[in-house]
Structure 1
Amino acid sequence: MKNKIIISLSLLLAFFPFSQCSDEVLDINDPNRLSPDLFWKNAEDAEKALVGVYSPLTTIPGWGRMLGAILTIHRSDIVNTFPQPAVNDVGTFNVVPTDGRVNEGWGELNAIVARANQVLANVPEIEMDEDRKAEILGETYFLRGFAHFYLLNMWGNIPLLTEPVNQVEDLFVEQASQSEVWASIKSDLSEAQSRLPQEWAAEELGRATWGAATAMLGKAYLYTEEWSAAAAEFKKIIDANLYQLVDNYQDNFLPETNNNAESVFELQYESSSDGNWGPSGTPNPQRGQAWEPDIAPKGYTSQKSVSVNQWVYDLYMKEQTLSGDVDPRAYATILWNYPGAMIYQDEFSNALTGEDLNKIWVRKYLNFERTSSLTPGSWSYSANNRRMIRYADVLLMYAEAENEANGPSTAVYDAVNQVRARADMPALPAGLSQEQMRQRIRDERVLELALEGDRFLDLLRWGIAADVFEEHPEYRSNSGSVFQRNKHEYLPIPQNDVDTNPNFEQNPGY
């Protein structure tokens, strides 16, 4: 699928979702754009349209950079963002509704939704192989549910678009209740689950599978605290024996071990030195991992970067492995001044000075075959895929849901201990209470999943985001910024959308 998902389709440009608008102002003959009257005719059209739905995932405004780091990782209590106007404002809690980074992430997720609506409305009427049609619809339901999941959890107050935009008036929608959006997400993911295969041929890697849909459905139930339903979905994945933890934890973050046995849903990046900087409607957009410069240590990036907060280091050092060593996940996740530590090709102790020498930095997803985050190559040099859902995460989400539903059962212990055993960490102590197990699972999510994008969403769903930042202002010591309760839980709705849609309300505090 790598050679299919990453292709930019000229007929699926930025305005593709609105290509059926009938308003006279938009009724202009464009010889470079295929009319919808000539499209949606055959299986080839259906396949091309599906590529258009996948397309926003790996652009720089998508998970290539903005959704991959700036709008997710930078907001968490794990990193301590350095101020950089118009780039790091989200992470320093100085973001405003006109922020271009916010608009880019919002735009790519909504592009997925709009294009998915076109596919779901038109592909059922195409005469083609029915099995393949079902798969296309399953992939599309998955992507729409996936996009709405992140829109809802990042912006909170969003419209629920499930039909194509055919009239200009259709653009002036109202925002939906969160319960309505959650119901749609679960419905879409259930539809996807019923249509998708468990695996694809090797050349189709990157397509959504039954496992990806099941994991996202379980995640939706987890986020809405439907514990038994969430546990049941994750248990389906565990019982299917489709995935396994790889022996080497760091293999989940290296390009040479892309698409390994632990990967449930993985974005396929492509190294690019001559692509264009822009969203999925841009001709030949860059589709490499372009957020490495945003997290690389100072001196190894053109950006202001982030450091890692001390509590994360302390958590890694709290326990030793069965062999008496540091948790190996620490070495794969963070950088600090230990004997033999390297930053790219340089010794840590020689590379940094002053306060920087004593800071903790990001290691995960850095590509140490380079000499810095931008040398050699461009922003999109790296083809180090983003593992959006790993089997380790499934095990920890199952343990959380099962613990909340039934307490710290044997099944809970087994799931967490599988993750710990891979890192040679000792099994959890017997006799933990439900509350104690809850905290151990939350800690394990940091040890296993730090810097993979969901930490702020975890804080939000647990209802502790504001508490954490209010109790620990040092988590933003690099910028001196302050988290505002009932504001910074969500990103602002892009100002352009608020200005052009009289039915939209801005999120509180912005």
Structure 2
Amino acid sequence: PAASAVVGHPNQTVAKSLLAKVYVTMASGSLASGQVTVMGGPTYKLVAGKRVLLSPVALTHTKTVVGGLEGLNSTDYFKLARDKAQEVMSSGVYTLFPTHAEVWTVGNQNKGEHIWSLQTISNDPNFGNEVSMFHIGRINPANSEIEGGWIASSNHWYHLFEDNDQRITDGVLHRWKLYGNYNYYPLSDSSVVKGTDQSAAAVAKRARYGYLPTDQSSVDDSHVARLRKFEAVSDRTVTRGNFNYPLLRYPDILLIYAEAANEANGGPTAEALEAVNKVRRRNGASQVTAMSQQAFRSFVLEERRRELAHEGDRRWDLLRWGIYLPVMNALDSDENNVLKRRSSKHLLMPIPVTELNINHEISGNNPGW
């Protein structure tokens, strides 16, 4: 149906949005050649036995064709993705909220830019979820401390943003209580927190986040970028909250349009630039201007990384562009001091043995399994 009578049920616009994602996946995956620049590299280095955080650096990767998509006409599929995204944009059904903070309130669930979301009920054993608990933590009413918050963004991700971008000024938890102590993030705010920086900007930041000189921070998995979007629940003291996980948001469609228009045209059109700038304007970020096809391709992919963090897109974006392995392997050890090396076997999950045993059309497992 054009509109669903039941909130949370998919409608025509949801179907069109998903189809745009399918088309852009087929298009980028089948593109025979090209380069993508991603901000990445090692997370930290050891200096006198101590971990020192490193800023992300620009690394350019040559894309590979995704297995199974060889032979497709990528330009045709980019045009299909562009046109399908345009249908959603032209429908007039969805609009961006004026600010980042307004996206993530209980009162704005299923409105504005929320095309399709998981529906939930607070403190319900069946229809509540632990998404908020895992990402931002629940508040213990006895001592106001955070419990949980185990899933967060990296220091590299945080430093992808301009200083005044609302996605980090309002969108990241900067101060919290844990084990009787107040902690702060990011570590790069140290001079602001301790008061050695007395500039007007530092004074304003201290007041904004309530920093005190006794606050603590470190290079570890406790001091990371926890996203405040996950505070959008009715009661943060419960474990199973009512966070409506976003399956599709309008910024996703705007960025799909921008990516597809750039590739179909051989460079960014005015409409592609404006689609990206709509997302950036509402977040208080600077506007993008004309650039090369490769530069815009890379910018849009990184803008998706900024805007859609923890919404289930980043891994798939890297996979469909054929750069997942080099991007992830360039990280070296992460904030948890865990060193992972991905190989081609990690591009596909193994086929279950039960399926191999009963399906005689399958001659063997996926490569490496």
Question: What TM-score, normalized to structure 1?
Answer: 0.50
1:289 aligns with 2:129: yes
Please name the residue that 2:102 is paired with: 251
The Cα of 1:307 is off from its aligned counterpart by 4.2
Deviations 1:55-109 (CA, angstroms, capped at 9, x unpaired): xxxxxxxxxxxxxxxxxxxxxxxxxxxxxxxxxxxxxxxxxxxxxxxxxxxxxxx
Aligned equivalents of 1:300 and 1:231: distance in 2?
43
Aligned equivalents of 1:384 and 1:297: distance in 2?
12
Aligned equivalents of 2:348 and 2:78: distance in 1?
24
Contact 2:136–2:226 (Cα < 8 Å) also in 1: yes
1:362 aligns with 2:223: no
Aligned equivalents of 1:498 and 1:348: distance in 2?
60
Amino acid at match of 1:486: S
Please name the residue that 1:311 is paired with: 156
- Size of the aligned set, in residue pairs, is 283
* Range 359-368 or range 398-407, more displaced: 359-368
Please name the residue that 1:484 is paired with: 342
Q: Which of 301, 305, 309 lines up with 1:450 in the alignment?
A: 309
Change (3 A) 1:467 1:349: farther
Please name the residue that 1:394 is paired with: 253
Please name the residue that 1:465 is paired with: 324
The Cα of 1:494 is off from its aligned counterpart by 4.7
Deviations 1:234-276 (CA, angstroms, capped at 9, x unpaired): 1111111111111122333332321111111122112234x2x
Deviations 1:195-230 (CA, angstroms, capped at 9, x unpaired): x21x234xx211111111111111111000010011
**Residue 389 of structure 1 aligns to a residue in which SS?**
strand
**Residue 224 of structure 1 aligns to a residue in which SS?**
helix
Deviations 1:150-197 (CA, angstroms, capped at 9, x unpaired): xxxxxxxxxxxxxxxxxxxxxxxxxxxxxxxxxxxxxxxxxxxxxx21
Higher helix share: 1
Please name the residue that 2:11 is paired with: 209
Change (3 A) 1:340 1:255: farther
Contact 1:264–1:389 (Cα < 8 Å) also in 2: yes
Question: What TM-score, normalized to structure 2?
Answer: 0.68
Contact 1:341–1:348 (Cα < 8 Å) also in 2: no
Please name the residue that 1:437 is paired with: 296
**Residue 508 of structure 1 aligns to a residue in which SS?**
coil
Change (3 A) 1:402 1:354: closer
Change (3 A) 1:350 1:237: farther
Aligned equivalents of 1:302 and 1:238: distance in 2?
38
Contact 1:219–1:230 (Cα < 8 Å) also in 2: yes
Aligned equivalents of 2:215 and 2:337: distance in 1?
23
Please name the residue that 1:300 is paired with: 146
How many percent identity over aligned positions?
26
The Cα of 1:492 is off from its aligned counterpart by 3.5
Contact 1:297–1:361 (Cα < 8 Å) also in 2: no
Structure 1 portions without partners, runs of 5+ = 1-195, 276-285, 321-325
Deviations 1:2-44 (CA, angstroms, capped at 9, x unpaired): xxxxxxxxxxxxxxxxxxxxxxxxxxxxxxxxxxxxxxxxxxx
Higher strand share: 2
Please give the root-mean-square deviation of Cα atoms over the aligned residues, in Å. Answer: 3.1
The Cα of 1:433 is off from its aligned counterpart by 0.9
Amino acid at match of 2:227: R
Change (3 A) 1:267 1:306: closer
Aligned equivalents of 1:483 and 1:297: distance in 2?
29
Contact 2:105–2:233 (Cα < 8 Å) also in 1: no
Contact 2:254–2:275 (Cα < 8 Å) also in 1: yes
Deviations 1:330-366 (CA, angstroms, capped at 9, x unpaired): 1344332453677xxx979877554349832222433
Alignment of 1:260-299 (within 5 A): 260-273=111-124, 275=125, 286-296=126-136
Contact 2:100–2:171 (Cα < 8 Å) also in 1: no
Contact 2:129–2:242 (Cα < 8 Å) also in 1: yes
The Cα of 1:287 is off from its aligned counterpart by 2.1
**Residue 444 of structure 1 aligns to a residue in which SS?**
helix
Deviations 1:93-149 (CA, angstroms, capped at 9, x unpaired): xxxxxxxxxxxxxxxxxxxxxxxxxxxxxxxxxxxxxxxxxxxxxxxxxxxxxxxxx
Contact 2:97–2:113 (Cα < 8 Å) also in 1: yes
The Cα of 1:311 is off from its aligned counterpart by 1.7
The Cα of 1:489 is off from its aligned counterpart by 2.1
